[in-house]
Structure 1
Amino acid sequence: MSLFWRIFALNALVLGAATALLLWAPVTVSVPILLTEAVILVGGLAVMLVANAALLRLGLAPLARLRRLMTTVDLLRPGQRLPVAGGGEVPEVIRTFNAMLERLEQERATSSARALLAQEAERRRIAQELHDEVGQSMTAILLGLKRSADEAPPRLREELHEVQEITRQSLDEVRRVVRRLRPGVLDDLGLVSAITSLTEDFATHTRMHVTRRFDTDLPELAPETELVLYRVAQESLTNAARHADAERVTVALRHVADRVVLTVTDDGRGIEAPREGAGMRGMRERALLIGGSLDITPAPRAGTSVQLTAPVSRKQL
């Protein structure tokens, strides 16, 4: 039955019941109307309205569920679907909406994959230019300063040493930026070594205590999976340093069945409800690219826990 005929039938049922009561009930209407008769008519009208409202609410309940889902759906949390039951127009609308959600999720995953791959390519290009151009130029400057300092008088030599030290610190900073843009150790030595290097560098620059817990039986992962795990760990550590006011961070890698689980837990201020900023949404998009899931929850005692669950085997993007 279509939605039109369903509503028509509900209203016809209410009006038919009211007409039957008027025909067979011993009720008359005087002119002018008596108070008791007015009370009976108003009461009957109220009953008709309540019955009509209840029946309409029952008939339109699937549309109300659809409206609630439409206001809360998030393409970064795939799999949200409305159950389809019955026949008529409303279930067909729900089926169409579910199909639209599936199509949007696929299109979002495809576009996100292209954007993130382009982002990684740009990171690689910038890192290469910093290493080849800026890094080599600053190295040449350091060598020139050293030669000048060796030949300069003592008073000028001290100033040249100070400039040399500033240049060396700047070169170290450029190299650190290059490692953050494109971790060469990830390509050369793998995920465990890359995250170890990341946490050591993080602890050095933030003065935070970092604990690492890695399973010894971690399986071999696809390059895309390793890169996503590394980027999520990097973003989680950055958030812990910038927003959580944490003192301790634990980074864990576990092998559970056919999945690898990355957990980054801090002892900071914690969260009541995670605000979906650009960093968190970026982590969710990366997780979707490898068929994984990301959970951001309060830590058991205090702070925040970021957990990424990724499948061991995954087709390349």
Structure 2
Amino acid sequence: MPANQFASYLGPKYKTQLGRTIAQALIEASFTVNIVSRASSTFATHAHPSAIFKCASYESTMSLEEALQDQDAIVEAFNPIAAAYQDNILRAAIRMGVKHIITPDFSSDTFNPQAHELRIFEPKLCSQTRLESLASQGKIYWTAIIVGPFYDWAISRGLFWVNNQDRKITLFGSGNQRISMSALSIVGRATVAVLQHPKDFVNRPAYFADYTISTNELIALWTLYENGSKLWDKDTDNGLKDRLSTPAYVLLGTFEEDSRYGADFGTKVEPGWEKPRHQLKQDLNKLLLD
């Protein structure tokens, strides 16, 4: 897709860092950007004066059609739970002639065979089946952008295994588990790359990561703090649904010892996207000093 075509960013709240990063990258790459949000959401229209802001109800195909008129591509950047509305979005997109849809991933590998065990992805996995069926009929094509956890965003909020307050590393299991991870900025760069060269990414997941590394490879830099908690079963027993906010999600979704959930996708990363290891040390040092 030429860089002067039209793309809609479809997300619940443009004010999130993910949304701002994607929209900013598209605008800087000369895309004409529509930012579509549900009427119940709030966003700052002054942030990107060149963007077009619209409201749409995900429950209404007609409302979505109005918002997606004359668009070439859709970038879905909402919570995986909102993928329950994917049928409406797809119907509206196809009726409006949208050619390409980037699915609501931008995180873990939902194409891993065990992804269904992480219930947060259930709506996304169901909607993906429908999307692939439509793609096989030539009605639309799709790309899923997989980037792993955002280490810079997570470290600054105390959510990752490197603690920027006391300069400690949390060791999960043996510490040999490798994970593929990225700085938040990669979502913008990857989205632009996919939309500018769509034929290279048609109907498949595309893996992007800045680094793939194990905890043990960083231990020499910081003090070690051991953590062996097993909380996933406890969460399930308690009927918990908000797994993104729990320690169990971090432990199993990101650091599971045998990479059961695809945390290590280093062998799948698009050529030329990973950075040299010495750059990671510089990046982490900067985060710890901020």
TM range (shorter): under 0.3
Structure with a larger share of its residues in helix: 1
TM-score (norm 1): 0.20
Relative contact order, higher structure (CA 8 A, sep 6+): 2
TM-score (norm 2): 0.21
- Look at both structures and tell me which one has the larger radius of gyration over its CA atoms: 1
